[in-house]
Amino acid sequence: MAEIEQFLEWLACPVCGGDLSRTADGLACPEGHSFDIAKQGYANLLGPQGKTHTADRPEMLDARTRVLGAGLFDPVTEAIREALLEFDGSEVGGPVVDLGTGTGFHLERALEELPERFGLGLDNSKYAARRAARCHPRAAAAVADIWEGLPLKDRSVALILDVFAPRNGPEIRRVLGPGGLAIVVTGAPDHLAGIPEGFGMITVDPEKRERLARTMEDLDQAVESAAIGWTMSLTPDEVADLVRMGPGAGRVEPEAFAAEVEALPDRTEVLGRAELHLFSVT
């Protein structure tokens, strides 16, 4: 786990955009805005309009840890790794920033591919920030609301990861340095098809690609989107974890949820369908 102080040259006050410095109690800017550093090592950089009501809960993160640890999303992980291998960031300063970092799974793997970089995970869940802060010796984490704004200086970031997470295109454009790269992974309309309707899964908007293009229109698209497709043969517990880890978690009452799991066959075929997009700035 890296100390948050190692990121001060890139961080900015989420209220006024000023420089942050270390104080006895946490972080502060010259205007007097102050922010706590939790004992677990992450910083709380929520701005005045920041929201956490949609934040991931511990049980959602536990389910995600099991899903990713079991390799169920390995095709996505491999596609990101291949994109990182193509990233020539030798002339680009700054850290890797993982938006909606969750457990820090993808940030950890990016730092393994980029041994000269530090990495910062941002999430509106304090439970996620706790985990991401410990994901790698060169990683730190902060609680932040991506929709409100990124607590980072202009043109300060080398690489942004956004994997199944919210996207704030203007903010990504603002913080990416010249030659920087944004790797964005979104679900395709048939992602996770095969999970029974009784689990109350939230489906992917068929117009998501068009909305992504509008959101990121201030950036130069480096390559065409790449489709990622795979099939998972899942046990009932794995199906349950896929539901628990996502935005549909909690939509079904516990008794009904347990009944749906009980009714599953030994194996359920579920589609994985995603798209990887690369965006750059000059």
pLDDT in tens, the chain (282 residues): 789 989 999 999 999 999 999 998 899 999 999 999 999 999 999 977 766 666 799 999 999 999 999 999 999 999 999 999 988 777 788 999 999 999 999 999 999 999 999 999 999 999 999 999 999 999 999 999 988 889 999 999 999 999 999 999 999 999 999 999 999 999 999 999 999 988 888 766 565 556 665 666 666 555 558 999 999 999 999 999 999 998 777 778 889 999 999 999 999 999 999 999 999 887
User: What's the maximum distance between 2 C-alpha atoms anywhere in the chain?
Assistant: 60
CA distances from 273 to 13, 152, 231, 232, 240 (A): 37, 32, 9, 11, 18
pLDDT of residue 216: 67
pLDDT of residue 150: 96
Q: How many CA atoms are closer than 13 Å to the CA of 266, on its beta-carbon side? A: 0
pLDDT of residue 224: 59
77 φ/ψ angles, rounded to the nearest 5 degrees: -60, -40
Q: How many CA atoms are closer than 13 Å to the CA of 111, on its beta-carbon side? A: 25
Q: Which of 151, 276, 166, 174 is nearest to 225 (CA)?
A: 276
What topology is assigned to 42-280 in CATH? Answer: Rossmann fold (3.40.50)
The residue to which tokens 């295109």 are assigned:
169
- The residues, any chain, with a CB within 8 Å of residue 115's CB and separated by 6 or more, are none
Q: What is d(CA 100, CA 128) in angstroms, rounded to the nearest whole number?
A: 9
pLDDT of residue 55: 78
pLDDT of residue 87: 87
**DSSP labels, 122-190:** EES-HHHHHHHTTS-TTEEEEE--TTT--SB-TT-EEEEEEESS---HHHHHHHEEEEEEEEEEEE-TT
Domain boundaries, the chain: 42-280
Q: Cα 192 from chain centroid?
A: 19
pLDDT of residue 92: 84
- Where b means 16+ CB within 10 Å and e means fewer, 153-165 reads beebbbbbbbbbb
pLDDT of residue 252: 83
